[in-house]
Amino acid sequence: TSYHKVLEENRILYNQVQDLKGAIRVYCRVKPFSPGQSNAQSTVDYIGEDGNIMIVNPQKQGKEARKVFSFNKVFPTNVTQEQIYADTQPLVRSVLDGYNVCIFAYGQTGSGKTYTMSGPDLMSEETWGVNYRALRDLFHISKERAEAIKYEVGVQMIEIYNEQVRDLLVSDVPVSCTQDVLDLMRIGQKNRAVGATALNERSSRSHSVLTVHVRGKDLVSNSILKGCLHLVDLAGSERVDKSEAVGERLKEAQHINKSLSALGDVISALAQKSPHIPYRNSKLTQVLQDSLGGHAKTLMFVHINPEVNALGETISTLKFAERVACIELGAAQSNK
């Protein structure tokens, strides 16, 4: 019967999920050069199937010039949006079994965070990012399980700018199909633009959090399960030259630095199983507190731009990512 099919699916999923629980996964994605940049020099020397990436500094010679970083996975530049999602899918599906999941996009402005999470064009399903694919999947599976479990799905969209949280919708809005979500995203984007001089500028300096709440009622046992998925497009991680930034720009930069380092501190404290997790140090970590740590699962997509003039940011992005992944550089280098 369909109920038994669901139980069997759940059992398989449960085993997959046990592997992921508590672990913090870090995936690295390298932005491809655009067709006009075919002769451009790349700082990415090598991408291994084992999760290693080698960065080269064209201005240095010998051993000094190369640095290896290790992650759970490094995607080749020609990876499709579908392949990116395929690796994320088990985490998303576990939300329907009552797990809390956080998926982050980290990297400097222009490195492809929004491309990964939203995609370049809402009208084209083929290039949809993780957000829409995740919701489409959640609706699809909840329909498949409809005879056994009755699900309700709600979404919330917030922006965190200068340590202020702004609700871009009217709190939690019930949704039942992907079209509902697309309509809401448009409203959210419009609301985000209000009061901002330029949306692009504003969006690179604020964190955007799309939260999906799932409530399922088991029609046989009447028990209720609750799961939650946070899809987070973080503010650009670039360091701002303190001598040049003044006024608003300096304030924004300080808030972004504070919240990204607070996030790094929380994730690395979790990875080290530290007794104190410093959630209260930023709005971002407060908002996500229930979905970071404990039984929750975290995935971070780290983005880099391979252009030579982005080298400094690329190195600091990869260092941050290794800190949250808690992987020792020495171990990776000894493989080479």
Residues that bind ligand ADP (CB under 6 A): 31-32, 107, 109-115, 120, 204, 303
- Between the CA of residue 42 and those of 39, 77, 253, 310, 314, what are the distances in Å? 9, 12, 28, 10, 11
Distance CA 16, CA 22 (A): 13
Distance CA 204, CA 29 (A): 18
Name the minimum Å distance from CB 105 to ligand ADP: 7
Nearer to ligand ADP, 32 or 154 (CB): 32
Contacts of 183 (CB under 8 A, 6+ apart): none
Name the minimum Å distance from CB 136 to ligand ADP: 20
Nearer to ligand ADP, 112 or 188 (CB): 112
Helix axes 247-271, 311-325, angle to 10 degrees: 30
Which of 249, 282, 263 minimizes the C-alpha distance to 24? 263
The DSSP bridge partners found for residue 92 are: none
Name the minimum Å distance from CB 203 to ligand ADP: 8
Nearer to ligand ADP, 75 or 279 (CB): 75
With CB atoms as reference, the residue minimizing the distance to ligand ADP is: 112
Nearer to ligand ADP, 214 or 302 (CB): 302
Phi, psi of 67 (to 5 degrees): -140, 135
Contact 66, 52 (CB under 8 A): no
Name the minimum Å distance from CB 111 to ligand ADP: 4
Nearer to ligand ADP, 15 or 34 (CB): 34
Nearer to ligand ADP, 98 or 264 (CB): 264
Give me the DSSP letters along 150-169: EEEEEEEEEEEETTEEEESS
Name the minimum Å distance from CB 109 to ligand ADP: 4
Name the minimum Å distance from CB 126 to ligand ADP: 12
- Between the CA of residue 25 and those of 19, 91, 243, 317, what are the distances in Å? 11, 11, 36, 15
Distance CA 17, CA 70 (A): 23
Name the minimum Å distance from CB 45 to ligand ADP: 19
Nearer to ligand ADP, 39 or 222 (CB): 39
Name the minimum Å distance from CB 112 to ligand ADP: 3
Distance CA 3, CA 149 (A): 9
Nearer to ligand ADP, 255 or 303 (CB): 303
- Coil, helix or strand at residue 216: strand
